Amino acid sequence: MSWAVWLTGPPSSGKTTVARAFLQALAREGVRAVHLESDALRAILTPAPTYEPAERDRFYREVGELASLLVSQGFPVVIDATAPRREHRDRARARIERFLEVLVDAPEGVRRKRDPKGLYRLAQHGGAPHLPGATEPYEPPERPDLVLSGERPAEESAARVLEMARKAGLL
Q: What is the CATH number of the domain that holds 58?
A: 3.40.50.300
For every one of its 171 residues, what pLDDT tens digit does the chain have, with 9 covering 90 and above?
A: 899 999 999 999 999 999 999 999 999 999 999 999 999 999 999 988 888 889 999 999 999 999 999 999 999 999 999 999 999 999 999 999 999 999 999 998 998 898 888 777 877 777 777 777 777 889 999 999 999 999 999 999 999 999 999 999 999
Considering the domain boundaries, does residue 36 fall inside one? yes
Q: Which domain range does residue 120 map to?
A: 7-167
Residue 65 lies in a domain: yes
Please classify residue 74 by burial: count the beta carbons closer than 10 Å to its beta carbon, then call 0-12 exposed, 13-18 middle and 19+ buried.
Answer: exposed
Structural domains in the chain (count) = 1
pLDDT at 1: 82
CA distances from 1 to 146, 158, 171 (A): 21, 19, 8
Q: What pLDDT does 153 receive?
A: 97
